[in-house]
Structure 1
Amino acid sequence: MTSTLDAERGGGTSRGPKPILEGTRDRKTIIGVYIFILAPVVALVAAVPLLWGWGLGWVDVALAVFFFYLSGLGITVGYHRLFTHGSFRAKRPLKIALAAMGSMAVQGPPIIWVADHRRHHAFSDREGDPHSPWLHGTSPAGLAKGFWHAHMGWIFEHELTNKQRFAPDLLADRDIVRVNKLFWLFTTLTLLLPAVLGGLLTWSWWGAVTAFFWAGPVRIGILHHVTWSTNSICHMVGDRPFTSRDRAANFWPLAILSFGESWHNLHHADPTCARHGVKRGQIDTSARLIWVFEKLGWATDVRWPTPQRLEKLAAR
């Protein structure tokens, strides 16, 4: 018997919902995915011997931290809380800047990223979720397979989430469509700018090389794994003080590196909330930046949590 999800994977009907998939990636895209996912992994492995006595200076560290925050907050504040969930409204220059910053994380163009993430929330930890760790059973082997799939295995699959179904608002936004088409440019800039700045700040070709390495592929690789850990670790272990329909949990060790995204339980209990770390001591850098944008008048209609709302969501 065909399930509803099976039907949605196909063409659907004129009266039914649009299918969740729109086809498969072309060969060029597949090659690009492998290059920009595996190259930073290789860079991370190479970073271990390079740290042992040479190849890393304070300029490299400063540039790596700067670009980590620039691109990381582009993902968490822009791609995630603004474009995916509408946690606030952004003035046009801020909207474009956040889309460009997020593109520099090399996690995919904004429309594709948002479509995948909205699909994740629509089917969270159920069949149809593109990266749930719970679809391969609870045996040790099943959990290991699920962790790999949720962390990065799903990225290598060839299926494409249907953008018309999950991101029609972004497809209708000319600014976002333009940034989406310029993803190649921001990918180039996120690798080229660290090298240029490193070379100028040290006034040497070697400074350009080391800055490129540490603030380019290594920084991108670390940020990739921080983002992917929200998909994997934060759906497997941690505390769950709020009621959600899935297994999303808070994992405090990732809070700072993930800019507050690892307070994942509240996010899945109330996805449009602009702050994920709502309890005392829960650091949420992304929410603080949104607060700054609001004070400057660049962000409006921010969906801040209220005591009444949190009380309703609290797990019993």
Structure 2
Amino acid sequence: MAHVEQVAGKRDKKAVSSPYLHKLQRRHFVLFDILPTLGTVGALWLAFTVRPPTALDLTLFAVMWALTGFSISIGFHRLFTHRAFKTSAPVRVLLTVFGCMAARSSMITWTSQHRRHHELADHEGDVHSPNLFGQTWRLRLKGLWYSHFSWMLKHEYPNVVHYVPDLLADKAIMKADRGYLRWAVLGLVLPGVIAGALTQSWLGALTGFLWGGVVRQFVVAQQVSALNSLTHMFGTRMFKMKDNHSHNNALFGLITWGEGWHNNHHAFPDSANFGFRWYQLDPGYWIIRVMEAVGLVWDVKRPDAERIAGRIQRLEALDEPAAEPTAGARMPG
């Protein structure tokens, strides 16, 4: 990944593309998308033919799912991409490490892609929009497949010097992020080691590895991909932004760490809170509030009711996309 960043940084463009980058992208897709899918099939076969998952297996799955998923939501997304709050270097490093264990790409890659997504949401150049193919049901299905899976096989790489100069200047998280592949593999192996040590059996180590590592990685991957695909096609729109098809989805709001309130997020990208109504549950924000209460985070950004109402009225009156500044290019450190 460090070499990828160097390649991207040398080009005076917002995004670069090359056979070398595409080779890395295909390799990553095989390692962290295809193999976990096959491993999940194997885990289910083992569960039905040899032994169902034990309480330890399910506990390892839940703990690793929470650590990696919330680190993507709170760390990669709200903190690193949008600067929705501030925190100390040790917390930033931990969020980087656990986020890398999700194997959704390195923190630098993920954040640069997501800042570009906000810059070009549902327009040409948005690397995983499902809405660029057409409106017939066949083309919409093609868009869903592309935004959920196939874009990862070959795509432009955002110029990290343009999109994330603030993160490149953060030595602590950059040092942690360079170990991306190491952390991703550790996220797979660690549950198996823990299960093997506790059960003193190879079968226990295998099922711990499968459920806490492989299946967990597969599930988190599908949840993150669903935010790219499904929430840009289905749900409700509290903020009806022109040519921005982000939607709120109550189901995904709950099971994707609060990320399913995607339309709210696109209207206020720098908000740490994605749920603007009492019924819009945002578990990621609950954790941020707890961390704020104990002094682990500070300067938490959240829009008040007046600002939210004003945005709705302005968008309805002007029928134009929200232009809320996001933590994008050329940010100060």
Normalising by structure 1, report the TM-score.
0.91
**What secondary structure is seen at the aligned counterpart in 1 of 2:124?**
coil
Selected match of 2:29 from 9, 30, 33: 33
- Contact persistence 1:91–1:298 (CA under 8 A): yes
Q: 1:158 to 1:132 in 2, by over 3 A?
A: closer
CA distance in 1, matches of 2:241, 2:227: 16
| CA deviation string 1:10-36 (max 9, x = no partner) | x99xxxxx5221333163553233221
User: In 1, are the aligned partners of 2:123 and 2:132 still within 8 Å (CA)?
Assistant: yes
The Cα shift of 1:142 comes to 0.9
The equivalent of 2:268 in structure 1 is: 270
Q: In 2, Cα distance between the equivalents of 1:27 and 1:261?
A: 30
Q: Secondary structure at the match of 1:52?
A: helix
| Cα separation, 2, equivalents of 1:241 and 1:172 | 36
What is the distance in 2 between the residues matched to 1:165 and 1:308? 33
Which residue of 2 is the match for residue 257 of structure 1? 255
Residues 1-316 of structure 1 mapped to structure 2, 5 A cutoff: 18-24=12-18, 25=21, 27-28=23-24, 30-52=26-48, 54-245=51-242, 246-314=244-312, 316=316
Superposed structure 1 runs of 4+ greater than 6 Å apart:
none
Distance in 2 between residues matched to 1:20 and 1:197, nearest whole Å: 43
CA shift at 1:113, angstroms?
0.4
- Contact 1:136/1:142 (CA < 8 Å) preserved in 2? yes
Contact 1:99 1:110 in 2 (8 A): yes
Structure 1 pair 305–51 and aligned structure 2 pair: CA distance change class (3 A): farther
Report how many aligned residue pairs link the two structures. Answer: 302
More deviation in 223-232 or 24-33?
Answer: 24-33
Q: CA deviation at 1:44?
A: 2.7
Q: Answer yes or no: is the 8 Å Cα contact 1:23–1:160 preserved in 2.
A: yes
Q: Output the CA distance in 2 between the equivalents of 1:290 and 1:179.
A: 22
Q: Distance in 1 between matches of 2:309 and 2:22?
A: 47
RMSD (Å) for aligned C-alpha atoms: 1.8
Query: Secondary structure of 1:255's partner?
Result: helix
Amino acid at match of 2:17: G
Residue segments in structure 2 that go unaligned for 5+ positions in a row: 1-9, 317-333
Deviations 1:89-131 (A, max 9, x none): 1111111111111011000110000010001000000001001
Supply the distance in 2 between the matched residues of 1:254 and 1:185 (Cα, whole angstroms). 30
Of the two structures, which has the highest relative contact order with CA contacts closer than 8 Å and spacing of 6 or more?
Answer: 2
* Aligned partners of 1:198 and 1:211 also within 8 Å: yes
- Change in 2 beyond 3 A, CA 1:44/1:205: closer
Residue pair 1:243, 1:313 contacting (<8 A) in 2 also: no
Supply the distance in 2 between the matched residues of 1:143 and 1:154 (Cα, whole angstroms).
15
Q: 2:156, 2:25 → 1: CA distance?
A: 12
- Conserved in 2, the CA contact under 8 Å of 1:194 and 1:216? yes
- Between the aligned partners of 1:85 and 1:149, the Cα distance in structure 2 is 25
Equivalent pair of 1:100/1:179 in contact (CA under 8 Å): yes
Secondary structure at 1:60 match in 2:
helix
Point out where structure 1 has 5 or more consecutive residues left out of the alignment: 1-10, 13-17
Q: Partners in 2 of 1:116 and 1:73 — Cα distance?
A: 19
Contact kept, 8 Å, 2:127 with 2:156, in 1: the verdict is: no
Return the letter of the residue paired with 2:245.
R
Aligned-pair distance for 1:65? 0.4
C-alpha separation in 1, matches of 2:153 and 2:98: 24
Paired with 1:160 and 1:91, the residues of 2 have a C-alpha distance of 29
Cα distance in 2 between the residues matched to 1:52 and 1:256: 29
